[in-house]
Amino acid sequence: MQQAYNVYEDRCPTRLVLDRLADKWALLILDRLEGEPVRFNHIRRDIKGISQKVLAQTLRKLERNGLISRTIFPTVPVTVEYALTPLGRTLTDTVSALAHWAEKNMDAIFAAQRAYDETHPV
């Protein structure tokens, strides 16, 4: 029997998962892995602005939470590929929709920020 969780409870472990998923890098990585398995350096090239350290940390967190898998190939140099797990695939529609929503609505968000800043001086 599956345990019931309530994200609104202060000690609910789902909050830790949401914290990891709400990270901008995690969302971009999950969206990038939607298709086929991708190598570390390809992810780094595709996601502009992410450092090697942050990419490695984020990949480890996603792997620990069962959302991605890491496959090592015994080549010289070693090749490592990352892919979505079946659990990670359950998020693809949500992640993609969120990314596209942000792209589509940035002008409205910028306008709202300007309006707020004009009425709430620092």
Kindly list the domain boundaries of the chain, sorted by start residue.
14-119
pLDDT band at 121 (very low <50, low <70, confident <90, very high): confident
The predicted structure's pLDDT at residue 3: 83
Instruction: Tell me the pLDDT tens digit for each residue of 57-106.
Output: 999 999 999 999 999 999 999 999 999 999 999 999 999 999 999 999 99
The predicted structure's pLDDT at residue 117: 95
Spell out the alpha helix ranges (H) of 35-121. 40-46, 52-64, 86-89, 92-119
Rg over CA atoms, the chain: 18
Instruction: Tell me the pLDDT tens digit for each residue of 41-62.
Output: 999 999 999 999 999 999 999 9
Alpha carbons 71 and 82: distance in angstroms, whole number: 6
The domain over range 14-119 is classified in CATH as 3.20.20.70: no
48 DSSP assignment: T
What type of residue is 81? E
Q: What is the pTM of this model?
A: 0.85
